[in-house]
């Protein structure tokens, strides 16, 4: 694992995509501020300078890159597990890759890259931000808003990077099977979506949904609306 700290950058995802040939597998790039932070579906990801955790991980291991459906939900699970040691409330994962506290979003994840050569997992976690102005599709929250405590971001990130690095390694070597945890913390379970009611998450990490007519369909990826 290698960690690079940048004071400011357009986007840690964009940076690692541009520089992917320069860095090895499991390079973490963190930043204090993004001038052009990206969310899914081409939305902006906004965060005040120095207040939140924003980083990207470069994955080059062939097996992991090809297992991107698993990686997306696994990244969310690992963030969930790490956050659950700080937040007393229920922390869950919203398939395919958000982390929620109650009904509020605390973390978003954006996977980009070029399969099979590399993948960039971009993670944004609201840590110390106490105010969210503007329009959000889902009400945001932060660790500060949930706990009334200010966190040391450098320490928070370092602990998280070590946790992610260790668990991706175990996963890669077949020593960690996250499917039961993923099912257990499935925020969408029983909820009505644009496809129907969510039943579960399948072994291949797709979402199992029951439509209005009672048919079972498996959703491979995409935005889930409620």
- The CA dihedral of 13, 124, 174, 66, to the nearest 10 degrees, is -30
d(Cα 81, Cα 85) in Å, to the nearest integer? 7
- Residue 78 vs 196, nearer CB to ligand BTN: 78
The residues that bridge with 140 in the sheet, in sequence order, are 105
- Residue 44 vs 170, nearer CB to ligand BTN: 44
Q: What is the nearest approach in angstroms of ligand BTN to the Cβ of residue 14?
A: 6
* Among residues 74, 109, 207, 209, the one that binds ligand BTN under rule CB under 6 A: 109
Assess 113 for contact with ligand BTN (CB under 6 A): no
The pattern of x and - marking residues 30 through 69 that bind ligand BTN according to CB under 6 A reads: ----x--xxxx--x-x--------xxx-------------
Q: What is the nearest approach in angstroms of ligand BTN to the Cβ of residue 17?
A: 10
Assess 104 for contact with ligand BTN (CB under 6 A): no
- Residue 55 vs 95, nearer CB to ligand BTN: 55
Measured in degrees and rounded to the nearest 5, phi and psi for residue 31 equal -145, 155
Q: What is the nearest approach in angstroms of ligand BTN to the Cβ of residue 107?
A: 8
Assess 71 for contact with ligand BTN (CB under 6 A): no
Contact residues for ligand BTN (CB under 6 A)? 11-13, 34, 37-40, 43, 45, 54-56, 98, 108-110, 122-124
């Amino acid at each position: 694992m290698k960690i690079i700290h940048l004071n400011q950058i357009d986007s840690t995802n964009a940076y690692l995509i541009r520089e992917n040939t320069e860095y090895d597998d499991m390079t973490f790039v963190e930043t204090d501020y993004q001038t052009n932070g990206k969310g899914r579906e081409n939305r902006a990801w906004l965060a005040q300078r120095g207040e939140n955790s924003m980083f990207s991980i470069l994955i080059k291991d062939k097996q992991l890159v090809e297992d991107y459906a698993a990686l997306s939900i696994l990244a969310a699970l690992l963030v969930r597990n790490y956050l659950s040691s700080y937040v007393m409330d229920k922390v869950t994962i919203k398939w395919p890759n958000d982390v929620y506290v109650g009904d509020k979003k605390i973390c978003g994840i954006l996977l980009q890259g070029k399969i099979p050569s590399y993948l960039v997992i971009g993670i944004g976690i609201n840590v110390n931000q106490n105010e969210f102005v503007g329009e959000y599709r889902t009400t945001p929250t932060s660790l500060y808003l949930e706990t009334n405590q200010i966190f040391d971001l450098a320490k928070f990130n370092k602990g998280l990077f070590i946790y992610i690095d260790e668990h991706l390694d175990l996963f890669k070597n077949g020593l960690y099977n996250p499917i039961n945890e993923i099912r257990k913390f499935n925020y969408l379970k029983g909820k009505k979506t644009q496809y129907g009611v969510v039943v579960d998450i399948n072994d291949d990490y797709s979402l199992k949904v029951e439509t209005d007519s009672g048919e079972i369909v498996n959703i491979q990826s995409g935005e889930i609306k409620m």
